[in-house]
Amino acid sequence: MIKKGRINIHISILFLLMILIYASCSSAPKKPGDVFFLRMQAEDGLEAANREAERGNFENALALLTSYKRNAILADDLSLIVRVSLARGNVFYSLGMTDEAFAEWDQALKEAALLKDSELLSVAKIFYARGNILTGRKTARAVLDEVSVESVNIKKNRLYIAFSWQVRGLALRELGLWSDAEESMKKSLAIHEKDNRLENASYDWYTIASIRSLAGDISGAVSALETSISLDRRIENSWGLASSWRALGDVFRKAGRERDALEAYKRSRSIYVDMGNDYEVEQLDRKINS
């Protein structure tokens, strides 16, 4: 019995060795889904890092993305380098590090051009365009024209399609074309709702509220922010909740509803306090005491 068991073990080991040798030497092309450790870790982690950023955990997101960018570089995977650089650029911008953000977007553009992937190159250009409109480096009309051209190439990734609609909406908002701006944001929202991307859907409603507020539609802005708050409560997104409550306070104050404004500001402040975000607490103190 023992001798037979040993023979079976030896045969099993030899069989496994043959499989490993074949797998390493085979010239057969690997399936598109076959990835090695560095790529797999970065691909899986990119999603987690983006969710951290969507929830306002920017330092955590940046730490994760820094690690994943290293993986992408070590694997010499241009597509991964582009996508991680785009995400890092957004996080840097959210942290107020504008120069670093544009440096990341610049690298993404260069790598996408080397990759000769028209879709990813257009995505990179739209990320850059968003930075341009948020910082005032380009006019809203120039950004709108660029996004209109580049978005035609984005056909596969639904999140990037939604993102292009968001940037178009931001440009239209700057141009004062309120109905067109809201329509663009709702096209982004439709994708996010269908794909159950609730953090993104909440941001869509948040932006729709800003469009309605600028257009003078106070009740519509309040309704949009209440929807944003309900989504963030559902997914326990503290950053989104604090941001929407603060925005709701701004809308109430604009409408002359001071008591409601103060209540909304205090709700926002209490969340920021428990998050340990001293900067936002200070900003809200100024609003409350003004």
The answer to whether 206 and 243 are in contact (CB under 8 A) is: yes
Q: What is the pTM of this model?
A: 0.82
pLDDT tens for residues 108-141? Answer: 999 999 998 999 999 999 999 999 999 999 999 9
pLDDT for 97: 95
Q: Give the domain-ending residue among 51, 83, 116.
A: 116
Answer whether residue 52 is part of any domain.
Answer: yes
**pLDDT tier, 40 (very low <50, low <70, confident <90, very high otherwise):** confident
Phi, psi of 51 (to 5 degrees): -65, -40
Average pLDDT over residues 70-90: 90
Say if 215 falls within a structural domain: yes
Residue with tokens 């800003």: 210
Query: Considering the domain boundaries, does residue 23 fall inside one?
Result: no
Q: Residue 248: how many CA atoms within 13 Å on its side-chain side?
A: 26
Residue 88 near residue 104, CB atoms below 8 Å: yes
Report the SS3 class of residue 183. Answer: helix
- Within a domain: 170: no
The answer to whether the beta carbons of residues 229 and 248 sit under 8 Å apart is yes
The enclosing domain of 79 has a CATH number of 1.25.40.10
Average pLDDT, stretch 21-35? 39
Query: Which tokens in the block code for residue 162?
Result: 């939604």
Among 116, 146, 167, the domain-final residue is 116
Two tokens at 284?
């809200």
Enclosing domain of residue 252: 206-290
Tokens of 62: 């940046």
Q: What mean pLDDT, rounded, does the chain reach? A: 87
Q: What's the domain count of the chain?
A: 2
Q: State the pLDDT confidence band at 152, using cuts at 50, 70 and 90.
A: very high
> At which of 96, 116, 136 does a domain end?
116
Residue reference for tokens 């900067």: 279
| Number of helices and strands in the chain (H, E) | 14, 0
Let me know if residue 1 belongs to a domain.
no
3-state secondary structure of 206: helix
Cβ proximity of 213 and 242 under 8 Å: no
Which pair of structure tokens corresponds to residue 247? 């925005």
89, part of any domain: yes
Q: With 70 as the cut, is the pLDDT of residue 212 above it?
A: yes
C-alpha of 186 from chain center: 17
Encoding tokens for residue 253? 């104050």
In the numeric block, the tokens 């948040």 are attached to 206
> Is residue 121 included in any domain, yes or no?
no
Residue 274 has pLDDT above 50, yes or no: yes
For residues 21 and 122, what is the distance between their CA atoms, to the nearest angstrom? 41
- Which CA distances in Å does 246 have to 43, 240, 259? 34, 10, 14
